[in-house]
């Protein structure tokens, strides 16, 4: 009896242990979490297969999409899914609180500011070099002004002739430009001597003056009447090269020769030289201007006959020189021996064909 009871208890205990072990195994299987497989970037094959299983119109709600993604074991952050909120459940917006916003500089803006700063430094360096060049030009101009006859207190032309000879010898085109700038800025004190130097340089070396003649041609205008005498004188050696541009202003040049009762001044001398240069530019110009220039030789004051003849006779050429001979012969008795000698030299130069300007 005791043996039977023991066997019964043993069997019952064995069944109980097996049941507990089976329950433990079942719980272990149920509690064991399967590893979540996450899709890599670009792996949309499973999502595409899941999307094909959706019914038409299911995308109107996001729940079927969430179920499909959950079935595919795809982790989807809930913050990336915007679920519709019904008006009844819509919460009141939280009061806005002022927060200190930290401004972030745009890299493109920052790079542009750096570039501007660098360009600003380069601009400052360029300004410094420009100022240095301007200072050098100013010093050069002061040196030229100091050598003019008016600056050294001379009334003869020797200082101006010496300066012109040095400019031609050094082939100094910058000096010619600086002297023309004196005329351009209406420097009444130095412009007359500057024009004389430029005229002498143009007579000896026309190429030095031709590089700057456009500046002088632009000043041939009624608005520049105060500087026009100096401009005409400075331009006269090479005026024949710009006859087409100057021809329209011939009446303006003649206005300076309207009054011959007074001794010739720089304005009359510049006008005669310029008109003579236009006359020498070609036969068409000579036919128009030659008669007026010969009349000047007959109407000017005796002391100016030789002075005007030096410019007029070479310009007349063989075609019109015969018209000047009787006029000059008639005026010989009015001239002094020195003036007669000067007139004879001018006549010989014209007969030899000496050019008025190169």
- Here the tokens at position 293 are 């220039």
- In this prediction the pTM is 0.61
3-state secondary structure of 27: helix
Phi, psi of 206 (to 5 degrees): -60, -30
* Distance of alpha carbon 312 from the chain centroid: 44
Q: Which residues of 254-280 are buried (b: 16+ CB within 10 A; e: fewer)?
A: eebbeebeeebebbbbbbbbbbbbbbb
pLDDT at residue 138, rounded to an integer: 77
Q: Do the beta carbons of residue 222 and residue 214 sit within 8 Å?
A: no
Cβ contact 356:350 at 8 Å: no
Alpha-carbon span 274 to 239, nearest angstrom: 6
Identify the pLDDT of residue 36.
47
Number of Cβ within 10 Å of residue 348's Cβ equals: 11
Q: Within 13 A of 160's CA, how many CA atoms are on the CB side?
A: 21
Rounded-to-integer distance, Cα 66 and Cα 78, Å: 10
| 279 neighbors 289 (Cβ within 8 angstroms) | yes
- CA–CA separation, 67 vs 337, rounded Å? 129
DSSP line for 195-250: HHHHHHHHHH-HHHHHTTHHHHHHT-SGGGTTTHHHHHHHHGGGGGGGHHHHGGGH
Place of tokens 């401009």: 231
Distance CA(162)–CA(165), nearest Å, equals 5
- Decide if 198 contacts 232 (C-beta within 8 A): no
| N-to-C CA span, the chain | 159
Helix (H, G, I), strand (E, B) or coil at 40: coil
Q: Are 289 and 327 in contact (CB under 8 A)?
A: no
Contacts of 50 (CB under 8 A, 6+ apart): 68, 69, 71, 72
**Residue 195: what pLDDT?**
96
Q: Is 43 helix (H, G, I), strand (E, B) or coil?
A: coil
Question: DSSP labels for 101-144?
Answer: ------HHHHHHHHHHHHHHHHHHHHHHHHHHHHHHHHHHHHHH
Residuewise pLDDT in 10s, the chain (358 residues): 454 545 555 555 555 555 555 555 444 444 444 554 544 544 545 444 554 454 555 444 555 555 655 555 544 454 444 444 444 444 555 555 444 444 455 555 556 666 666 666 555 655 666 666 656 567 888 999 999 999 999 989 999 999 999 999 999 999 999 999 999 999 999 999 999 999 999 999 999 999 999 999 999 999 999 999 999 999 999 999 999 999 999 999 999 999 888 888 999 999 999 999 999 999 999 999 999 999 999 999 999 999 999 999 999 988 898 999 999 999 999 999 999 999 999 999 888 776 544 4
């Amino acid at each position: 009896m005791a043996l039977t009871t023991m066997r019964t208890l043993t069997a019952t205990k064995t069944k109980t242990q097996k049941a507990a072990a089976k329950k433990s195994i079942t719980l272990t299987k149920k509690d064991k979490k399967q590893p979540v497989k996450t899709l890599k970037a670009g792996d949309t094959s499973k999502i595409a297969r899941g999307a094909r299983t959706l019914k038409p119109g299911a995308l109107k709600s996001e729940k079927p999409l969430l179920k499909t993604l959950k079935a595919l074991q795809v982790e989807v952050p809930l913050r990336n899914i915007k679920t519709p909120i019904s008006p009844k459940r819509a919460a009141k917006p939280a009061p806005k609180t002022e927060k200190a916003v930290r401004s972030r500089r745009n890299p493109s803006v920052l790079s542009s500011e750096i570039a501007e700063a660098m360009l600003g430094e380069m601009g400052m360096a360029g300004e410094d070099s420009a100022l240095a060049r301007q200072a050098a030009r100013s010093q050069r101009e002061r040196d030229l002004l100091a050598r003019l006859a008016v600056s050294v207190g001379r009334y003869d032309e020797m200082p101006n002739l010496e300066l012109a000879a040095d400019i031609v010898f050094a082939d100094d085109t910058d000096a010619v430009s600086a002297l023309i700038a004196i005329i351009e800025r209406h420097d009444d004190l130095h412009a007359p001597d500057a024009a004389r130097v430029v005229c002498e340089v143009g007579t000896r070396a026309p190429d030095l003056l031709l590089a700057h003649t456009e500046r002088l041609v632009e000043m041939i205008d009624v608005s520049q009447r105060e500087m026009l005498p100096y401009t005409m004188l400075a331009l006269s050696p090479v005026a024949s090269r710009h006859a087409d541009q100057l021809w329209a202003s011939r009446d303006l040049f003649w206005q300076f020769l309207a009054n011959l009762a007074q001794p010739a001044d720089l304005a009359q001398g510049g006008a005669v030289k310029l008109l003579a240069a236009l006359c020498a530019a070609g036969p068409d110009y000579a036919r128009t201007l030659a008669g007026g220039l010969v009349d000047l030789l007959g109407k000017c004051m005796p002391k100016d006959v030789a002075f005007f003849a030096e410019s007029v006779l070479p310009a007349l050429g063989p075609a019109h020189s015969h018209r000047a001979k009787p006029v000059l012969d008639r005026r010989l008795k009015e001239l002094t021996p020195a003036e007669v000698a000067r007139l004879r030299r001018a006549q010989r130069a014209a007969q030899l064909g000496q050019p008025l300007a190169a």
